[in-house]
Structure 1
């Protein structure tokens, strides 16, 4: 169930049993979703002429663990439509002394939620698909580009043919020209979703490649195109995308493949270590 569907269901299914004050809050949220998502409990109470404690109880009655969780649910619904300016406004109420703790806590929450929501069968299916692929194409644009490069960099050490598709001189379709059956395409994108990555996955699918999505939810446009979708939470405190959980999930894929191919890659890494040492790639010697 998508974030929008889940929240709408909670509001609609409980509406008839709500108190007069709770109905006012529900009506306001339904009619002014974009505004309500940015309001504190105190501000929402003022706007709907109820107390702050009533707003908190309203959130609890919907099954959320307090108002901050309801607010986060509202923001998750609209985040793909938010402009950078609106995202900056989201961080306006954060106390400067709380920024470090708040950001790190949200990153920990994202990792915890990702672990709880990632099906082991799907994870293992992705690992097997990569191990059996003729070629692997990894694509992530804009803020997802570092994640794509990280995943592609390490996969290239372990798999026979890996290509990281990137924005550059050649168009993405030129880079994907030889993709076909037996190949795997990994599309990586988080809100706001990159149209180029969505187009790249659609093209890969049309050529018979197996498509894997690394994205934030099953409702993501990439999930709709993918054979297998792995989701990682990327809830934001501000205009900066949180890619901590996505990086952790990518790291888990790399480690899982490394374990499967441990004996095969040991020789390659011994050779690489000799090359790195001969050319002083790393500071401090061996």
Structure 2
């Protein structure tokens, strides 16, 4: 981040009066520029949106979006470096909300550094090739499992969510077989019923993909493929930001791999949406 601050400082004498206002804001609140639009930045210092864009171009960037991505990355890397070195932040440096949001940014950076793209592509291949996909998640994991299963079924038309509180759950267990796939969300606190689900799936010949938080997760004993992603916990509230980011990446890879099929299924859904006049 320091190199970027020096770059702005070196270019400062060449800025117009309006551009200097943007530069002053950047020195004071770089995080505001990192997560605000050029229009919002301009309003903050009473200059036009085009002045903000020209300011980034003056620094050598194609436009505001390119500059913003660099700032976001550098801020996240700086936070990660401080966390790894156990360097405490000054008490009054940021608001409580800003610290909470920075923790979410940090979780994405950790995911970026730890995820193995080859393993992720293997997971995408298994999802695409499976006869049926069953998505399992219990307790606090059920919400994110349900969201992912709904999208996957809309996209590929071969996915079911498993709800242990229904009779259908046991029917699903009985129907599993070779060629089927279970995608399980297993984050703390781990429940016995999800582990039992994985054990049953393996017993019926289905493959298992586990998304979990650590290498010590009890679910890994049943996993054919595993993606580990840390869950940030603050004030006893778990944040699934990094899990959502990982799933969004999987979904985008699925779309790229199965674009024709996904678009076809989406088109069918759109016909129904229009017939029912569903959206305003």
Distance 1:271 1:183 in 2: 25
Distance 1:180 1:267 in 2: 27
In the alignment, which residue of structure 2 is the partner of 1:194?
Answer: 191
In the alignment, which residue of structure 1 is the partner of 2:122?
Answer: 125
The gaps in structure 1 that reach 5 residues or longer are: 1-62, 70-93
Q: What is the TM-score normalised by the length of structure 2?
A: 0.65
| Residue 279 of structure 2 corresponds to residue 282 of structure 1 | yes
Distance 1:271 1:168 in 2: 31
Conservation of the 8 A alpha-carbon contact between 1:236 and 1:242: yes
**Equivalent of residue 204 in structure 2, options 197, 202, 207:** 207
In the alignment, which residue of structure 2 is the partner of 1:102?
Answer: 99
Post-superposition Cα deviations, 1:91-133, rounded to whole Å, max 9, x if no partner, equal xxx99x8431222111111111112111111100000011110
- Secondary structure of 1:176's partner? helix
**Equivalent of residue 86 in structure 2, options 66, 70, 92:** 66
Looking at CA atoms only, which structure, 1 or 2, has the larger radius of gyration?
2
1:86-235 alignment to 2 at 5 Å? 98-170=95-167, 172-235=169-232
CA drift at 1:229: 0.7
Distance 1:68 1:196 in 2: 40
How many corresponding residue pairs?
196
Post-superposition Cα deviations, 1:62-101, rounded to whole Å, max 9, x if no partner, equal x9511669xxxxxxxxxxxxxxxxxxxxxxxx99x84312
Post-superposition Cα deviations, 1:11-42, rounded to whole Å, max 9, x if no partner, equal xxxxxxxxxxxxxxxxxxxxxxxxxxxxxxxx
CA drift at 1:223: 2.0
Distance 1:274 1:189 in 2: 36
Higher RCO (CA 8 Å, separation ≥ 6 residues): 1
Conservation of the 8 A alpha-carbon contact between 1:218 and 1:224: no
When the two chains are superposed, the root-mean-square deviation of aligned CA atoms in Å is: 2.3
Conservation of the 8 A alpha-carbon contact between 1:217 and 1:223: no
**Equivalent of residue 265 in structure 1, options 257, 262, 266:** 262
CA drift at 1:239: 1.7
CA drift at 1:172: 3.6
Q: What is the TM-score normalised by the length of structure 1?
A: 0.64
Conservation of the 8 A alpha-carbon contact between 1:134 and 1:161: yes
- Structure 1 segments of 4+ aligned residues over 6 angstroms from their partners: none
Distance 1:220 1:68 in 2: 30
In the alignment, which residue of structure 2 is the partner of 1:254?
Answer: 251
Distance 2:193 2:88 in 1: 34
